[in-house]
Copies of this chain bind each other. A is one copy, B any other.
Amino acid sequence: MMGSDFAPLSELQGVADFAKKHKSAKDTEFFFIGDEEIINKHLPTFDFTGVKYSIVHADQVVSMDDDASVALKQKKNSSIAIGVQMQKEGKVDAFLSAGNTGAMLSTSTVLLGRIAGVSRPTIGTFFPSLNINPTLILDAGANVDSKAKFLYEFAVMGSLYFKEMFGVENPKVALLNIGEEASKGNELALETYKLLKGSNLNFIGNVEGRDIFVGKADVIVCDGFTGNILLKFAESIMGFFKATFRNYAKRSFFKKLRVGLFAPTLKDIFKDFDYQEHGGVPMLGVNGVIIIGHGSSSGLAVENMIKRSIEIISKDLNKKIENELKK
């Protein structure tokens, strides 16, 4: 309840909207983890008729500026620490938060442990593409110094996740690289290429930066350093264009008019860039279901995070990952 920029409003809104729209909500039990007083203050704003929920008080909050290890070491009563602990004890089937990503990652990894066969848990991110489905890029920043083996595991987990999410039977998996040929890339890419080539994934080879938006692949693997820089750069595109449009509009009355008239269309067109739509992403590879949302998550994003977590649970994604990595 304390994670998003508008906490707990986005969180409560997301639950309320989910409950309104989905019949399965009747079988879902919610635990609102966070400051009891704050949550109670905002509860009456939303309609929770027929929703099974209870409040779990947490008197600490991991802030966005806190170090990743804070929830584990100093703030054991934070909503993140309590949530992951409840997941560990089996009190909940999934834990969702739009809070501090680093803290979510480290707390989950340490408390829940890894799925058998997984070297490093990972988080991915969805990029819009000219395909029907967005493209899943992983690792998006969980592992800055990666080995080829890690990237291979990311590919396996990403492929299974993509399949379950979008019903694509054999997701096209690619390696992010600086050229299409197998001989291109840095040491990590060269080694990863060989592993992917020899796997039973639907590996389509290397893709370059320019192939991401085109949607050449469903799942693209890269090290977390590259992935994180790419993700943050991509997230800044809309802001850059908006600023560019604003500067243009300032130049003359007619230019302002033109931009003003087109603004609703632009908004409509750029909707794909709105990561709210996709909601959060799961932390793949941990022994549990952990969904991480963007700090700026809206009610819609939280609603989608809930849907996502239920899909992952009902499709038993973690078991599938374990089985696939056993091969």
Extra contacts, 6 of them, besides A141-B178, A230-B233, A255-B265 (Cβ < 8 A), are A178-B232, A209-B231, A213-B240, A222-B229, A226-B226, A233-B233
Q: Known contacts being A225-B178, A268-B248, is A212 close to B187, with CB within 8 Å?
A: no
Which one of A178, A224, A234, A272 has the highest number of Cβ atoms from chain B below 10 Å of its Cβ? A178
Residues from chain B with a CB closer than 8 A to the CB of A98 are none
Q: In the complex, what residue of chain B is closest to A184 when comparing beta carbons?
A: B144
Assess the A248–B229 pair: CB atoms within 8 A. Answer: no
Contact with B along A251-279 (1 / 0, CB 8 A): 00001001101100100110010000000
Give the dominant DSSP class at A's interface: helix
A228 at the interface (CB under 8 A from B): yes
Residues from chain B with a CB closer than 8 A to the CB of A189 are 144, 225
Assess the A209–B187 pair: CB atoms within 8 A. Answer: no
A165 at the interface (CB under 8 A from B): no
A208 at the interface (CB under 8 A from B): yes
Assess the B259–A229 pair: CB atoms within 8 A. Answer: no
Assess the B213–A229 pair: CB atoms within 8 A. Answer: no
Q: How far is the CB of A37 from chain B (nearest CB, A)?
A: 33
Can you report 24 residue pairs joining A to B where beta carbons are below 8 Å apart?
A130-B240, A141-B178, A145-B186, A178-B229, A185-B225, A186-B223, A189-B225, A209-B234, A209-B236, A210-B236, A211-B236, A212-B233, A213-B236, A213-B239, A214-B236, A214-B240, A222-B229, A226-B226, A229-B230, A244-B269, A248-B265, A255-B265, A261-B262, A262-B265
A243 at the interface (CB under 8 A from B): yes
Q: How far is the CB of A217 from chain B (nearest CB, A)?
A: 14
Assess the B210–A243 pair: CB atoms within 8 A. Answer: no
Q: Known contacts being A130-B243, A225-B185, is A213 close to B237, with CB within 8 Å?
A: yes
Q: Known contacts being A230-B229, A233-B233, A258-B262, is A269 close to B243, with CB within 8 Å?
A: no
Which one of A130, A186, A230, A231 has the highest number of Cβ atoms from chain B below 10 Å of its Cβ? A186
Q: How far is the CB of A140 from chain B (nearest CB, A)?
A: 10
A144 to B247, CA, bound (A): 37
Assess the A208–B229 pair: CB atoms within 8 A. Answer: yes
Assess the B255–A178 pair: CB atoms within 8 A. Answer: no
Assess the B258–A272 pair: CB atoms within 8 A. Answer: no
A176 at the interface (CB under 8 A from B): yes
Assess the B232–A209 pair: CB atoms within 8 A. Answer: yes
Assess the B228–A178 pair: CB atoms within 8 A. Answer: yes
A324 at the interface (CB under 8 A from B): no
Q: Which of A121-146 contact B (CB under 8 A)?
A: 130, 141, 144-145
A269 to B263, CA, bound (A): 14
Q: Which 6 A-B pairs have the closest CB atoms?
A: A209-B232, A209-B233, A213-B240, A210-B236, A144-B186, A178-B228
A185 to B225, CA, bound (A): 7
A269 to B214, CA, bound (A): 23
A31 at the interface (CB under 8 A from B): no
